[in-house]
């Protein structure tokens, strides 16, 4: 079969269609074959490949490959492959088809050379991914998916408004550096920011991701936010504001993660924390920092995917995901335990694991550009990440007190998917050159110098010591069945209540008016009825002679009037 | 297999793991005196900066998070109960 120069998203859309029409092993084969063919297609595309088009006089570039986006292309193929293998046991056409369309939309968005194409795939990301939330088929997943969709579509509309103004101003739709100047740029910036999970705009992520199915969350964690990171890196590198936004994103979620009970929600918070590091890198904007952001996005998809997969396996086997209900699972799921620990070590940036080689680039860049306070915040966030994702997740799920749950080890396909991810985590950690070689800018950076290794190890071991100390002192907050209020409270509680209150007031006024009119009408009706009753004015019998007499009177009156 | 089943439940094992951690921590601090680190941040050069920052940072993190619970924690079905209430108000 000859495939030459297809737009990267096309095969995935085809695969989504095939997945919808096939069943069982055939579907599994078709999906895997699609990913393999699509990867081959991407590999064969020449450097600087571009597709030009024109729509109503506007020059478009639906596909463009360059240094910044081609690594994302491969990353999304790896993520899709891992996700599809992880979900091979699932027999749910909706989920499997949606995940292919979703991955395709992500490819479409990162390879979009113009803003209009970007917008189309931006919205497609929202429309295709929401089905992965709804696929859980619970009432909570449904309402959470609704909120997710609304916010994602709003992000798209902000983007569209920004694009229209941008086109009006510049007369071009090319998707290149925009820079934070003027209303159009701000609209685009905030549109991107929603999907980057900027503080206070982040709640769609922590709300919806943990409500999805075990495999749905694995897909969700890989694509939307990384597309947004790519878009930010393309349009707003070196925007200083991003450094501060990123630093706050790296810090605030770790507090929530410490007290959150739903372990997949803990991971959702830690996903925002990792995005914070990338945003800082983009904000610094030097070659080293952008390299760091892209490298960290690459690693994050894999180790965060691995962590979500391990927790998904726990949810799949035990039906539970709250830290307060789990514990002691290493006895039942030893392989999952080890794979989870690999993911935990990677996200915590232990030397020899993937997080270390990319996070240290961003940290170094922050120091080089003299963002000293930001650097301290990032260091704090690094210690905190180890605390909640590195220790809390494996500890409360697999160790801690024995919950008494005995279940089967994760299914083989899940173990294979986690195994691939774990291999990549260690592989990149040990041989970072493989990753560095493919970064947007040429680099001679090396993470493995004595200072980095020693200081990072010190930081992590003393964080672990803090965990042990707090636990022994009984000061560590226990896992409690609870909901923690976050920014989504505003649109889930006061706003619906306010709207509910206004509606109720409206109906009350409406009701009162109706009642008044009704009572007037009823009174009038009552009067009429009275007049019509026996001996009422309107129902009396009148004798014929009286009638004649009255006729005479009337005639006389008319005659009189005539002659006056 | 049955022997290793409750491996991590034994107090002995936990004790040894903790001892290992303490020894490694001590070693890492000692290394600070041995290894020459090149530093860029003004605080970085202090002996024991990273260990202290990591330890104190985590303790502060956990204590602040515990404090946050007082203001932010609600029952598990907080929103579900609320949704139903709002739902009722509509009718």
Token pair, residue A419, equals 């195994």
Cβ contact A482–B75 (<8 Å): yes
Q: Which of A55, A47, A51 is nearest to A112 (CA)?
A: A51
Q: Which pLDDT tens digit goes with each residue over A366-390? A: 999 999 999 999 999 999 999 889 9
Q: What is the mean pLDDT of residues A6-16?
A: 93
Smallest CA–CA distance, residue A483 to chain B, in Å, is 5
Least Cα separation, residue A377 to chain B (angstroms): 10
CB contact under 8 A, A379 and B53: yes
Name which of B45, B48, B57, B80 to mutate to probe chain A: the one with the most chain A Cβ atoms within 10 A of its Cβ: B57
Yes or no, beta carbons of B28 and A458 under 8 Å apart? yes
CA A449 distance to own-chain centroid: 36
Q: Is the pLDDT of residue B85 over 60?
A: no
Chain A nearest CA to B54, separation (Å): 5
Q: What pLDDT is attached to residue A562? A: 86
**The pairing of beta strand B73-74 with beta strand A50-55:** unpaired
Q: Which chain B residue has the Cα nearest residue A488?
A: B79
> Are B32 and A480 inside 8 Å of each other by CB?
no
- Helices (H), strands (E): how many in chain B? 4, 1
A57 pLDDT higher than 90? no
Q: What are A432-443's pLDDT values in tens digits?
A: 999 999 999 998
pLDDT number for residue B1: 41
Task: Kindly state whether B81 is in contact with chain A, defined as any CB-CB distance less than 8 angstroms.
Answer: no
B76 touches chain A (CB under 8 A): yes
Quote the DSSP letter at residue A8. Answer: H
Is residue A94 predicted with pLDDT exceeding 90? yes
Min Cα separation A19/chain B (Å): 35
Note the pLDDT of residue A530: 85
Section A73-91 average pLDDT: 96
CA distance A482 to chain B (A): 4
User: With an 8 Å Cβ cutoff, are B57 and A467 in contact?
Assistant: no
Cross-chain Cβ contact A461/B73 below 8 Å: no
Does A469 touch chain B if contact means CB atoms closer than 8 Å? yes
Burial code (b: 16+ CB inside 10 Å, e: under 16) for A486-517 equals bebbeebbeebeeebeeeeeeeeeeeeeeeee
Place of tokens 């203001």: B71
Contact B73/A480, CB-based, under 8 Å? yes
Instruction: Work out the pLDDT band at A306, boundaries 50, 70, 90.
Output: very high
Model pLDDT, residue A2: 46
Q: How confident is the model at residue B83 (pLDDT cuts 50, 70, 90)?
A: low
Q: Which residues of A touch B76 (CB under 8 A)?
A: 261, 481-483
Percent of chain A with pLDDT over 90: 84
Cβ-based neighbours of B24, under 8 Å, separated by 6 or more: A461
**Residue A55: pLDDT band by 50, 70, 90 thresholds?**
confident
Q: Average pLDDT in the A330-336 region? A: 95
| Residues ≥6 apart with Cβ < 8 Å to A79 | A103, A219, A222, A223, A301, A302, A305
Q: Does B34 touch chain A (CB under 8 A)?
A: no
Chain B contact for A453, CB < 8 A? no
Least confident range from A5-9, A106-110, A186-190, B17-21: namely A5-9
A140/B54 Cβ within 8 A: no
pLDDT score recorded for residue B9: 79
CB contact (8 A) between residue A461 and residue B74: no
User: What pLDDT does residue B7 have?
Assistant: 78
Classify burial at A539, counting beta carbons within 10 Å of its beta carbon; exposed 0-12, middle 13-18, buried 19 or more. Answer: exposed
Distance, in angstroms, between A344 CA and closest chain B CA?
17
Chain A residues with CB under 8 Å of B69 CB are 259, 477, 482, 484
A470 touches chain B (CB under 8 A): yes
- Closest C-alpha among A423, A223, A459, A451 to residue A348: A459
**pLDDT above 50 (res A84):** yes
Which strand (E) or helix (H) includes residue A60? strand A58-64
Chain A residue closest in CA terms to B27: A458
Between B61, B75, B78, which is nearest A255 by CB? B61
- How many beta-carbon pairs under 8 angstroms link A with B? 158
Q: Which residues between 488 and 547 in chain A have a beta carbon less than 8 angstroms from any beta carbon of chain B?
A: 492-493, 496-497, 500, 503-504
The model's pLDDT over A61-72, given as tens digits with 9 standing for 90+, comes to 999 999 999 999
Q: Which of residues 243-302 of A touch B (CB under 8 A)?
A: 254-256, 258-259, 261
pLDDT bin (cut points 50, 70, 90) of residue A290 is very high
Distance from the A25 Cα atom to the nearest Cα atom in chain B, whole angstroms: 35
B64: closest chain A residue by CA = A255
For residue A399, what are the contacts with CB-CB under 8 A and spacing of at least 6? A327, A328, A330, B8
Contact A367 B80 (CB under 8 A): no
The pair phi, psi for residue A52, each rounded to 5°, is: -105, 150
Q: What is the pLDDT of residue A46?
A: 87
A474: left (phi over 0), alpha (psi -120 to 50) or beta: left
Residue-wise pLDDT tens digits, A145-164: 999 999 999 999 999 999 99
**Which of B62, B64, B75, B83 to mutate: most A Cβ within 10 Å?**
B62
Nearest Cβ partner for A465 among B21, B39, B66: B21
Percentage helix, strand, coil, to 5, in chain A?
75, 5, 25
**Per-residue pLDDT tens over the stretch B25-47:** 999 999 888 887 777 777 787 88
For residue A308, count other CB atoms closer than 10 A to its CB.
31
**Bridge partners for A51 per DSSP:** A63
Quick one: closest CA in B to A473, which residue?
B59
Cβ neighbours of residue A405 under 8 Å, at least 6 residues apart? A318, A320, A326, A327, A328, A329, A332
How close A204 gets to chain B, by Cα (Å)?
Answer: 15
For the residues A101-116, what does the mean pLDDT come to? 96
Confidence tier at A296 by pLDDT (50, 70, 90) = very high
Over residues A324-343, mean pLDDT: 95
DSSP E strands in A383-526: the ranges are 483-484
Choosing among A147, A250, A259, which should be mutated to test the B contact, i.e. which has the most B CBs within 10 A?
Answer: A259
Mean of the per-residue pLDDT values for chain A?
Answer: 93
pLDDT at A546: 86
Pairwise CB contact (< 8 Å): B9 & A402 = yes
What pLDDT band is residue B82 in, cutting at 50, 70 and 90? low
Residue A360 has pLDDT above 70, yes or no: yes
- Decide if B78 touches A, using CB distance below 8 A: yes
State the pLDDT at residue B89. Answer: 38
Q: Which residue of B has its CA nearest to A506?
A: B90
ipTM: 0.85
pTM: 0.89
């Amino acid at each position: 079969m000859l495939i030459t120069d297809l737009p990267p998203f096309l095969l995935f859309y085809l695969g989504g269609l095939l997945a919808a029409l096939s069943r069982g092993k055939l579907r599994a084969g078709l999906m895997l074959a699609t990913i393999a063919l699509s990867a081959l297609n991407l590999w064969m595309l020449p450097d600087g490949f571009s597709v030009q088009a024109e729509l109503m006089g506007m020059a478009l570039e639906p596909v463009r490959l360059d240094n910044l986006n081609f690594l994302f292309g491969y990353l999304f193929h790896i993520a899709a492959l891992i996700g599809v293998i992880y979900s091979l046991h699932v027999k749910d056409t909706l989920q499997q088809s949606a995940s292919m369309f979703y991955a395709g939309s992500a490819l479409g968005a990162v390879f979009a050379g113009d803003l209009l194409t970007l917008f189309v795939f931006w919205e497609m990301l929202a429309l295709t991914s929401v089905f992965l939330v709804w696929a859980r088929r619970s009432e909570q997943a449904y309402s959470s998916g609704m909120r997710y969709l609304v916010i994602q579509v709003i992000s798209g509309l902000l983007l569209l408004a920004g694009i229209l103004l941008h086109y009006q101003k510049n007369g071009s739709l090319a998707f290149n550096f925009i820079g934070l100047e003027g209303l159009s740029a701000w609209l685009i910036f905030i549109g991107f920011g929603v999907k980057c999970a900027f503080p206070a705009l982040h709640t769609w992520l922590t709300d919806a991701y943990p409500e999805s199915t075990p495999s749905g969350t694995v897909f969700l964690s890989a694509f939307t936010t990384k597309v947004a990171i790519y878009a930010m890196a393309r349009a707003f590198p070196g925007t200083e504001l991003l450094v501060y936004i990123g630093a706050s994103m790296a810090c605030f979620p770790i507090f929530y993660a410490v007290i959150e009970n739903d372990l997949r929600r803990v991971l959702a918070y830690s996903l925002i924390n990792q995005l914070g590091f990338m945003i800082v890198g983009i904000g610094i904007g030097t070659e080293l920092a952008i390299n760091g952001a892209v490298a960290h996005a690459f690693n994050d998809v894999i180790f965060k995917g691995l962590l979500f997969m391990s927790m998904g396996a726990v949810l799949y086997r035990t039906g539970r995901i709250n830290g307060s209900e789990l514990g002691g699972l290493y006895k039942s799921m030893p392989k999952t335990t080890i794979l989870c620990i690999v993911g935990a070590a990677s996200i915590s940036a232990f030397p020899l694991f993937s997080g270390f080689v990319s996070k240290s680039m961003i940290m170094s860049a922050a120091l080089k550009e003299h963002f000293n306070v930001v650097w301290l915040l990032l260091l704090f966030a690094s210690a905190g990440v180890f605390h909640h994702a590195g220790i809390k997740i494996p500890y409360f799920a697999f160790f801690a007190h024995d919950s008494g749950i005995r279940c089967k080890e994760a299914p083989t396909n899940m173990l294979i998917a986690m195994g691939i991810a774990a291999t990549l985590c260690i592989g990149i950690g040990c041989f970072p050159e493989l990753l560095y070689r493919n970064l947007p800018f040429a680099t001679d950076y090396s993470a493995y110098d004595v200072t980095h290794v020693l200081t990072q190890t010190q930081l992590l071991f003393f964080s672990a010591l803090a965990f042990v100390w707090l636990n022994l002192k009984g000061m560590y907050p226990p896992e409690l069945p609870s909901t923690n209020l976050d920014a989504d409270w505003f649109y889930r509680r006061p706003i619906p209540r306010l709207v509910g209150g206004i509606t109720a007031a409206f109906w009350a006024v409406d009701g009162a008016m109706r009642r008044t009119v009704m009572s007037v009408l009823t009174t009038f009706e009552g009067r009429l009825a009275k007049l019509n009753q026996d001996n009422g004015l309107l129902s009396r019998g009148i004798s014929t002679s009286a009638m004649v007499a009255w006729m005479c009177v009337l005639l006389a009156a008319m005659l009189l009037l005539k002659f006056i | 297999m049955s022997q290793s089943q409750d491996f991590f439940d034994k107090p002995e094992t936990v004790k040894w793991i903790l001892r290992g951690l303490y020894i490694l921590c001590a070693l890492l601090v000692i290394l600070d005196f041995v290894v020459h680190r090149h530093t860029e941040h003004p605080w970085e050069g202090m002996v024991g900066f990273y260990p202290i920052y990591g330890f104190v940072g985590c303790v502060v993190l956990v204590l602040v998070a515990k404090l946050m619970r007082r203001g932010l924690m609600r029952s598990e079905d907080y929103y579900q109960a609320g949704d139903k209430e709002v739902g009722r108000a509509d009718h």
